[in-house]
Structure 1
Amino acid sequence: MRSASAADFNATRFIARLRSRGLTWVLAIAVVLLQYPLWLGEGGWLRVREGAQKIDIQLALNQRLEVRNASLLAEINDLKQGRDAIEERARNDLGMVAPDEWFVRVVPAQSVQSGKTNE
């Protein structure tokens, strides 16, 4: 049989081991809880990355729209300044012909044979 002091020593050692392991678990849980907002929280890394992707997509869209707007603005300025741009637009879009002109339409041979037209 063991002596009382030996049993006391083993109990003390057990309690010390339990405390150190408990402290380790408490610290591990604390680290995990502190990491959660960094990765998954309101201003977390994943949301910041998602927001950056949305910003990149919007910037690309804005750039395309700026190019389109610049071309429309140039076309508007052409239409405001001279009659040539208006005539060109009427000829291309509406098929208009001036009074002293002839309109000749050339149809490719392939479309005539197949019965298809370019319209």
Structure 2
Amino acid sequence: MRLITLALATLLLLIQYPLWLGKGGWLRVRELEGQLSVAQEKNAALKSRNAKLESEVRDLKDGTGAVEERARYELSMLKQNEIFVQILGKDQPKPQGAVTPAPAVQPASPATAAPAKPKS
């Protein structure tokens, strides 16, 4: 009787091996499900990126607004007869090549001022 019990227990373990550790076992399935969820998240992010790129391509093909915006911000281009004004905060450094305004000339005092010539 002991031999039969030992044989049945061994058979039970042999049957359980493929279920837990085999090619289609529970552990392998759980690992594959984890890989699947990671791949699905990556695909969703790439689909979002592709949709943004597709809309940008459509804008570049159809309208001039996107081209103009890119030229302004990426290439710092201006339209003809357009003036560029940049407002800096107190804590921002001045860009290189910035033009500093000349100091204001104070008017002469009346005592040192030359007399005005009468109009003729």
- 2:6 aligned to which of 25, 36, 45: 25
Q: Alpha-carbon deviation of 1:116?
A: 9.1
Output the CA distance in 1 between the equivalents of 2:56 and 2:29: 41
Q: Deviations over 1:10-64 (max 9, x none)?
A: xxxxxxxxxx111111111111111000000111111111111111111111011
After TM superposition, the runs of 4+ consecutive aligned structure 1 residues lying more than 6 A away are: none
For 1:2-13, list aligned pairs within 5 A.
none
1:35 is aligned to 2:16: yes
TM-score, normalised to structure 2, is: 0.74
Look up the equivalent residue of 2:57 and give its one-letter code: I
Q: Deviations over 1:73-107 (max 9, x none)?
A: 00100010111111011111111111111111222
Q: Alpha-carbon deviation of 1:108?
A: 2.0
Output the CA distance in 1 between the equivalents of 2:95 and 2:5: 81
Unmatched segments (≥5 aa) in structure 2: 97-120
TM-score, normalised to structure 1, is: 0.74
Same amino acid, percent of matched pairs? 44
For 1:1-119, list aligned pairs within 5 A.
20-112=1-93
Q: How many residues align?
A: 96
Output the CA distance in 2 between the equivalents of 1:41 and 1:99: 73
Output the CA distance in 2 between the equivalents of 1:93 and 1:23: 82
Give 3-state SS (helix, strand or coil) of 1:100's partner. Answer: coil
Give 3-state SS (helix, strand or coil) of 1:107's partner. Answer: coil
Aligned match of 2:103 = none
CA RMSD of aligned residues (A): 1.8
Q: 1:105 to 1:116 in 2, by over 3 A?
A: closer
Unmatched segments (≥5 aa) in structure 1: 1-19
